Amino acid sequence: MQKTYVSANELLLDSFTLAKQVKDSGYEPTALIVPWRGGMPVGICMHEYFHTQGVTLKSTVIKTSAYSGIDKRSDVTLAPFAPDFTEDDRLLIVDDVFDTGRTMKALKEELGRHCKDIRIATVFFKPSRNETELSPDYYLYATDEWIVFPHEVDGLTPEELEEKSPALARLFP
């Protein structure tokens, strides 16, 4: 499987670019919903961008689980969370990649019990892998490649780790 290695600087710039895309669309969320772990870097940048534009956002991190390895999936589970928003809020779910869509579907269904205006923003979208009727409202790249994010090392072979970052590879004997 073809893998694309995304550097920390690329993800940083892409995250701010995605935030600008949302802002330029005229949509002004009142709350960010960020899936733990992948959405965290993007969510932090999204929050920073809107803050510099004078927009105060509530933020909720929700632990989700469905991934168990390359091309391996389990049932989607959402950890319990206390909603910090009202039915009048405008929610923006922010993540690094929209793959099968199953996690986003579970999030939208749960969040939809509390709020009706929910949109999705993600850096990468994999339309050919989408198993749902959903698609992100905002995204930067459509791809079918496997994306390896800056923080990901688990599951990489020593050769892949070397390709990703020789300096990082030296830290993992």
Does residue 56 sit within a domain? yes
- Please give the tally of structural domains in the chain: 1
pLDDT interval class at 68 (50, 70, 90): low
pLDDT of residue 65: 80
pLDDT of residue 101: 96
Does residue 159 sit within a domain? no
Q: Which domain holds residue 25?
A: 3-144
Q: What is the pTM of this model?
A: 0.91
CA–CA gap between residue 86 and residue 46 (Å, rounded): 21
pLDDT interval class at 69 (50, 70, 90): low
Does residue 71 carry a pLDDT above 60? no
HEC readout, 92-124: EEEEEEECCCHHHHHHHHHHCCCCCEEEEEEEE
pLDDT interval class at 73 (50, 70, 90): low
Does residue 126 sit within a domain? yes
pLDDT digits (tens, 9 = 90+) for 96-118: 999 999 999 999 999 999 999 99
CATH number at residue 112: 3.40.50.2020
Q: Which helix (H) or strand (E) holds 3?
A: strand 3-5
Does residue 152 sit within a domain? no
CA–CA gap between residue 69 and residue 52 (Å, rounded): 37
Does residue 80 carry a pLDDT above 90? no
Q: What is the mean pLDDT of the chain?
A: 92
Q: Residue 100, Cβ neighbours under 10 Å: how many?
A: 16
Does residue 162 sit within a domain? no
